[in-house]
């Protein structure tokens, strides 16, 4: 399966929600979108991105993890004109869901990053490390050490930074690509 074909078939954020979300879901997406904030340093970093990044997001409008993470991607795209995000519905694109399974399960959101010329660069998804740390604390308890945790930092800010770390990693992969460096002479 060529996942880049799914990018071409995907919807921009508002169109995805218009097509797949009911009114209650749209309200939940809107609430999270309004809560996402980027720090000046995060905006500056995104503004320095040079290479075009096409980002395919397999999602479900009904999915709490998608509601709590996908609005972050839109803030990144607004801060960086080289980021283009397209969303496809997990159920409507069952073939993509099968290709993007995580831990042998149907998970969302799953993101696939592509270069400007449709080469797959990376995949990431479902939940970030900060979210899993919070879940392990809640479900297993304090007896399980979870690594570094920033006290008092709200989970949404932590998850935003987790995702930004992955977007940044992909950007540097693209910037250091011998093929693209040759193309752009940099």
- DSSP string spanning 90-152? TTTTHHHHHHT-BTTB--S-EEEEE-TTS-EEEEEESS-HHHHHHHHHHHT-TTS--S---TT
Q: How many residues does the chain have?
A: 186
pLDDT at 138: 84
Three-class HEC string of 18-79: HHHCCHHHHHHHHHHHHHCCCCHHHHHHHHCCCCCEEEEEEECCCCHHHHHHHHHHHHHHHH
| pLDDT band per the 50, 70, 90 thresholds, residue 108 | very high
- Give the whole-angstrom CA distance, residue 48 versus residue 11: 26
What number does CATH give the domain 3-184?
Answer: 3.40.30.10
**Beta bridge pairs of residue 124:** 111
| Per-residue tokens: 156 | 């949404």
| pLDDT band per the 50, 70, 90 thresholds, residue 145 | low
Helix (H, G, I), strand (E, B) or coil at 84: strand
Q: For residue 61, is pLDDT > 80?
A: yes
145 CB neighbour count, 10 Å cutoff: 8
What is the CA 123 to chain-centroid distance, rounded?
9
| pLDDT band per the 50, 70, 90 thresholds, residue 151 | low
pLDDT at 152: 54
pTM over 0.85: yes
Q: Distances from the Cα of 47 to the Cαs of 54, 79, 82, 117, 144, in angstroms?
A: 16, 6, 9, 21, 38
Q: Which residue has the higher pLDDT, 91 or 153?
A: 91
Helix (H, G, I), strand (E, B) or coil at 81: coil
* Per-domain boundaries in the chain: 3-184
Q: What is the mean pLDDT of residues 101-126?
A: 96
């Amino acid at each position: 399966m060529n996942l880049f074909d799914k990018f071409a078939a995907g919807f921009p954020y508002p169109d995805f929600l218009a097509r797949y979300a009911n009114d209650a879901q749209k309200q939940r997406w809107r609430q999270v979108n309004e809560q996402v904030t980027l720090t000046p340093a995060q905006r500056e970093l995104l503004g320095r991105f040079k290479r075009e990044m096409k980002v395919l997001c397999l999602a479900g409008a009904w999915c709490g993890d998608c509601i709590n993470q996908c609005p972050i991607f839109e803030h990144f795209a607004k801060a960086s004109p080289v980021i283009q995000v397209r969303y496809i519905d997990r159920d409507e694109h069952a073939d993509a869901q099968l290709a993007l399974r995580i831990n042998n399960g149907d998970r969302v959101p799953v993101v696939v990053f592509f270069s400007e010329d449709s080469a797959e660069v990376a995949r990431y998804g479902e939940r970030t490390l900060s979210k899993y740390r919070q879940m392990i604390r809640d479900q297993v308890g304090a007896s399980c050490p979870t690594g570094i945790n920033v006290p008092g930092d709200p989970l949404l800010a932590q998850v935003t930074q987790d995702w930004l770390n992955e977007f940044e990693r992909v950007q540097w992969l693209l910037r250091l690509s011998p093929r693209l460096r040759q193309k752009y002479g940099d």
